[in-house]
């Protein structure tokens, strides 16, 4: 028996409504509120406010700390994305073999992704602890390097980059693995028959076929590096020493929630939205041209 | 409160709840001081403030101006004699001779040192350094002989920087540190004295005498592990440090820099604020709890468990009578320091609007100087400009 489905004009809206409501409550309304507050200066309890026009934005670009944070965030993002994608692609390629316990390995590989950034921070902070850390002790005994991430700005940046990259590795590897498994064997065979070496067939054949995955991961990792590292920073370096690891999200937090400069922090969140959207736009405009989605 | 301090708080709350079954006090840990002040004030806007809020000394001006508090002197119908509060503590938390918040965990900074390392380096363990120069040479020897990773570290570096101003009778902000009846509108920490202190610290750091150990209490762990010989830290770490160190721990006055006048170390730590927005009945219950904490035996428990000052004189006298300080002379050091200092305007403690942010600015500046080795004068000038802007914004909202 065939059931007929009477289409209603309202049905699509009804089905979409849960997500729309969530988006409204958690994204659109707070976002609009931020936009509104970015034109005001508020007192500490938030009971008084003065309209200051674009003053918060003007100040932002006169604030050497903000400019520093901007530059730092960009370079940090580039590092995390570059190393993150590079290392995971290498691991995925090596792991892409017909191994016995493939599913087990795959599950293990994604574990780091399940950790919250704060927990990741604690784990790595323990390993890099100046007195009891495993890694610091190895560095000191074997290489004679004293590594103290809260005592040395360069070390702090290296520490944060390693930790942040590691946390995304699992996620990246899983996607690369899925991508690699989707590459048809006969294409590679054909390439080898045509005389391409392993290296050549990888870069000329496999890598282009992986481009949708790579592009997707590029976008996800960029968003991750910009937005999701607050917990990590908060637990390990608190933006320091000095302003060494003061990424945009962390400055926003300090200004908004510690210094209670709600207007100024709102302006920063609006700027952050604009910056990240522009980065995304550029990526879609330029990087996506090189993506091959197959025929 | 975090760590071993938190456990003492819980025990006090528990015994209060037992004694007053009609009242239920619940102590909630809400993160660092800075976060607690922020959350507490944000909750005012949301209409759900806590009944009592524990704020650190840095939050004092902000709390006073917030319009969200009930001064405790208004509740006092003679149950508590504020004249009993230890003088320097009374001075810190009162405005115009009236008590605005209930002193609870008051501390100051002092020098902790590792007597074992002193011996090993060939110094008399009963002769802690009295001056900056002594401290430097002791620390230098510890590093040079390789017995320690560093000579000295600082807990709460921004606060120690403020302490140094008070200790050498130097103003930190204008309008008598914001206590002249007019709020402070300008900080003075980039003057010759501030630059001098940080230039010293930077030199120590270059020679690895100063081991920068991070903010707040994070330098305690490497200190009790014996990684460096000395630590300038809050007295509130005394209980914990004694428990955790497996060496002979000594305490001493903060070392002085020669050539500057004598002031006093300043009161730090926190006090309890009664928040608006609750029924009279709840306020009365909160007042009961504050009285309970002020009671001699509870002030004593608090002091012994942590190293914070017992805030009232009666408790102090009872401790002397009991022979506590003979048994535990290290708990006396901070008292002697604060009672032997000169009570000057600069040593009463700074009141600044949005001090939370200014503390953050100076803390960062210190790291730029002692970790990233930037020019002290330039960094302090920059920090002053930022702080003055904060004060200007603050004043524009409250005046």
Residue of A nearest to B42 (CA): A45
CA proximity to A81, closest of A258, A218, A250: A218
pLDDT value of residue A2: 62
Q: Please, are residues B69 and B41 in contact by the beta-carbon 8 Å criterion?
A: no
* Pairing status of strand B228-234 against strand B150-154: parallel
Instruction: Count Cβ neighbours within 10 Å for each residue of A130-168 and write b for 16 or more, e otherwise.
Output: beebeebeeeeeeeeeebbbbbbbebbbebbbbbbbbbb
User: Exposed, middle or buried by CB within 10 Å (0-12, 13-18, 19+), for B243?
Assistant: exposed
Mean pLDDT of B329-344: 87
All residues of chain B having their beta carbon less than 8 Å from the beta carbon of residue A258 are 34-35, 38, 356-357, 360
Report the gap between the CA of A37 and the closest CA in chain B (Å). Answer: 15
CA proximity to B294, closest of B148, B80, B140: B80
For residue B3, is pLDDT > 90?
no
**Which H helix or E strand runs over B107?**
strand B102-107
All residues of chain B having their beta carbon less than 8 Å from the beta carbon of residue A259 are 354, 356-357, 360, 390
Which bin fits B94, alpha (ψ -120 to 50), beta or left (φ > 0)?
Answer: beta
pLDDT band at A209 (very low <50, low <70, confident <90, very high): confident
Q: Select the residue from B150, B204, B360, B375 to test the A interface by mutation, using most A Cβ atoms within 10 A.
A: B360
Using a CB–CB cutoff of 8 Å, tell me whether B345 touches chain A. Answer: no
Which bin fits B156, alpha (ψ -120 to 50), beta or left (φ > 0)?
Answer: left
How many alpha carbons fall within 13 Å on the CB side of residue B172? 32
Report the gap between the CA of A84 and the closest CA in chain B (Å). Answer: 28
Decide if A242 and B222 are in contact by the 8 Å CB cutoff.
no
Percentage of chain B beyond pLDDT 70 is: 99
pLDDT band at A200 (very low <50, low <70, confident <90, very high): confident
Distance CA B262, CA B95 (A): 24
Decide if A153 and B372 are in contact by the 8 Å CB cutoff.
yes
Task: Tell me the per-residue pLDDT of A261-293, one tens digit each, with 9 for 90 and over.
Answer: 889 999 999 999 999 999 889 888 877 777 777
**Length of chain B, in residues:** 399
All residues of chain A having their beta carbon less than 8 Å from the beta carbon of residue B356 are 258-260
Distance CA B74, CA B222 (A): 45
Task: Tell me the per-residue pLDDT of A83-121, one tens digit each, with 9 for 90 and over.
Answer: 999 999 998 888 887 777 777 877 888 888 888 888 988
pLDDT value of residue B128: 93
Which value, to the nearest 10 degrees, does the dihedral of the CA atoms of residues B226, B229, B234, B237 take?
A: 20
Distance CA A59, CA A268 (A): 10
61-100 in chain B: CB under 8 A from chain A: 62, 65-68
Query: Can you list the domains of chain B with their CATH numbers?
Result: 3-107+266-322 (3.40.190.10), 109-264+355-398 (3.40.190.10)
Decide if B360 and A254 are in contact by the 8 Å CB cutoff.
yes
pLDDT value of residue A4: 66
Task: Tell me the per-residue pLDDT of B181-200, one tens digit each, with 9 for 90 and over.
Answer: 889 999 999 999 999 999 99
All residues of chain B having their beta carbon less than 8 Å from the beta carbon of residue A41 are 393, 396-397
The pair of structure tokens assigned to B197 is 């202190």
Task: Tell me the per-residue pLDDT of B223-241, one tens digit each, with 9 for 90 and over.
Answer: 988 889 999 999 888 888 8
Give residue for tokens 């067939």: A201
For residue A159, is pLDDT > 60?
yes
Q: Select the residue from A40, A45, A261 to test the B interface by mutation, using most B Cβ atoms within 10 A.
A: A45
Residue of A nearest to B218 (CA): A150
CA proximity to B29, closest of B12, B6, B51, B13: B6
Least confident of A102-106, A125-129, A180-184, B353-357: A102-106
Task: Tell me the per-residue pLDDT of B167-179, one tens digit each, with 9 for 90 and over.
Answer: 999 999 999 998 8
Residues 6+ apart with CB under 8 A from A34: A266, A269, A270
Using a CB–CB cutoff of 8 Å, tell me whether B51 touches chain A. Answer: no
Decide if A259 and B212 are in contact by the 8 Å CB cutoff.
no
Residue of A nearest to B37 (CA): A258
**Which H helix or E strand runs over A138?**
helix A134-138
Q: What are phi and psi of B210, to 5 degrees?
A: -90, 125
Q: Spell out which chain A residues touch chain B, with contact meaning CB-CB distance below 8 angstroms.
A: 41-48, 50, 64-65, 130-131, 150-153, 238, 240-244, 254, 257-261
Q: Please, are residues B105 and B269 in contact by the beta-carbon 8 Å criterion?
A: yes
Q: What are phi and psi of B99, to 5 degrees?
A: -85, 125
Decide if A259 and B213 are in contact by the 8 Å CB cutoff.
no
Mean pLDDT (chain A, rounded) = 87
Which value, to the nearest 10 degrees, does the dihedral of the CA atoms of residues B201, B203, B204, B207 take?
A: 160
Residue of A nearest to B216 (CA): A238
Report the gap between the CA of B204 and the closest CA in chain A (Å). Answer: 14
Q: Which fold has domain A66-290?
A: MetI-like fold (1.10.3720)
SS (H, E, C) A183-232: CCHHHHHHHHHCCCCHHHHHHHHHHHHCHHHHHHHHHHHHHHHHHCCHHH
Report the gap between the CA of B346 and the closest CA in chain A (Å). Answer: 25
Q: Please, are residues A177 and A106 in contact by the beta-carbon 8 Å criterion?
A: yes
CA angle A126-A128-A133, nearest 5°?
65
Distance CA A164, CA A79 (A): 10
ipTM of the complex: 0.76
Assign B166 to helix, strand or coil: helix
Radius of gyration of chain A (CA): 24
Mean pLDDT of B82-111: 88
Residue of B nearest to A48 (CA): B397
């Amino acid at each position: 028996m065939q059931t007929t489905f009477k289409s209603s004009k309202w049905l699509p809206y009804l089905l979409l409504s849960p997500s729309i409501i969530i988006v409204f409550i958690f994204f659109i309304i707070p976002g609009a509120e931020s936009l509104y507050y970015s034109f005001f200066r508020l007192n500490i309890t938030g009971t008084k406010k003065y309209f200051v026009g674009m003053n918060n934005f003007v100040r932002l670009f006169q604030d050497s700390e903000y400019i520093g944070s901007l530059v730092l965030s960009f370079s940090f993002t580039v590092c995390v994305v570059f190393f993150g994608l590079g290392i995971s692609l290498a691991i995925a390629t090596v792991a892409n073999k017909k191994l016995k316990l493939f599913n087990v390995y795959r599950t293990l590989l994604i574990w780091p992704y399940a950790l919250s950034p704060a927990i990741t921070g604690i784990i790595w902070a323990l390993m890099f602890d100046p007195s009891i850390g495993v890694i610091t002790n190895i560095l000191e005994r074997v290489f004679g390097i004293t590594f103290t991430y809260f005592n040395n700005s360069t070390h702090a940046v290296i520490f944060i980059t390693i930790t942040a990259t590691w946390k995304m590795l699992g996620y990246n590897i899983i996607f690369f693995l899925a991508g690699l498994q989707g590459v048809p064997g006969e294409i590679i065979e054909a390439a080898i028959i045509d005389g391409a070496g392993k290296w050549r067939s990888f870069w000329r054949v496999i890598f282009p076929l992986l481009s949708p995955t790579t592009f997707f991961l590029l976008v996800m990792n960029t968003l991750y590096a910009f937005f999701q590292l607050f917990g990590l920073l908060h637990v390990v370096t608190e933006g320091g020493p000095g302003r060494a690891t003061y990424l945009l999200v962390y400055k926003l937090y300090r200004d908004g929630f510690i210094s209670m400069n709600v207007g100024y922090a709102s302006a920063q969140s609006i700027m952050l939205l604009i910056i990240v959207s522009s980065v995304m736009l550029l990526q879609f405009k330029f990087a996506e041209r090189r993506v091959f989605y197959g025929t | 409160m975090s760590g071993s301090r938190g456990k003492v708080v819980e025990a006090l709350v528990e015994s209060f709840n037992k004694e007053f079954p009609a009242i239920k006090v619940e102590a909630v840990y809400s993160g660092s001081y800075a976060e607690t002040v922020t959350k507490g004030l944000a909750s005012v806007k949301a209409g759900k403030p806590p009944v009592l809020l524990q704020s650190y000394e840095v939050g004092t001006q902000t709390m006073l101006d917030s319009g969200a508090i009930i001064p405790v002197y208004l509740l006092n119908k003679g149950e508590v004699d504020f004249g009993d509060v230890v003088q320097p503590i009374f001075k810190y938390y009162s405005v115009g001779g009236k008590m605005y918040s209930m002193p609870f965990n008051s501390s100051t900074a002092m020098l902790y040192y590792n007597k074992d390392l002193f011996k090993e380096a060939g110094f008399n363990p009963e002769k802690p350094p009295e001056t900056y120069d002594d401290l430097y040479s002791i620390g230098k020897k510890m590093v040079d002989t390789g017995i320690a990773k560093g000579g000295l570290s600082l807990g709460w570096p921004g606060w120690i920087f403020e302490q140094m101003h008070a200790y050498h009778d130097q103003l930190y902000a204008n309008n008598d540190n914001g206590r002249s009846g007019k709020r402070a509108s300008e900080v003075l920490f980039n003057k010759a004295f501030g630059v001098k202190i940080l230039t010293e610290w930077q030199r120590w750091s270059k020679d690895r005498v100063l081991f920068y150990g991070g903010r707040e209490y994070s330098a305690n762990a490497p200190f009790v592990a014996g990684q460096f010989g000395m630590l300038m830290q809050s007295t509130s770490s005394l209980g914990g440090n004694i428990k955790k160190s497996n060496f002979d721990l000594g305490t001493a006055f903060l070392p002085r820099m020669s050539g500057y006048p004598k002031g006093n170390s300043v009161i730090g730590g926190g006090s309890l604020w009664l928040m608006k927005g609750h029924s009279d009945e709840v306020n009365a219950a909160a007042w009961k709890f504050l009285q309970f904490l002020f009671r001699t035996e509870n002030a004593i428990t608090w002091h012994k468990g942590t190293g914070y000052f017992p805030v009232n004189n009666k408790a102090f006298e009872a401790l002397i009578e009991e022979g506590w300080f003979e048994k535990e002379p290290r708990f006396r050091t901070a008292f002697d320091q604060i009672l032997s200092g000169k009570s000057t305007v600069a040593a009463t403690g700074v009141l600044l609007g949005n001090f939370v942010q200014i503390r953050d600015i100076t803390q960062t500046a210190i790291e730029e100087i002692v970790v990233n080795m930037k020019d002290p004068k330039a960094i302090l000038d920059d920090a002053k400009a930022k702080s003055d802007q904060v004060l200007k914004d603050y004043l524009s909202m409250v005046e």
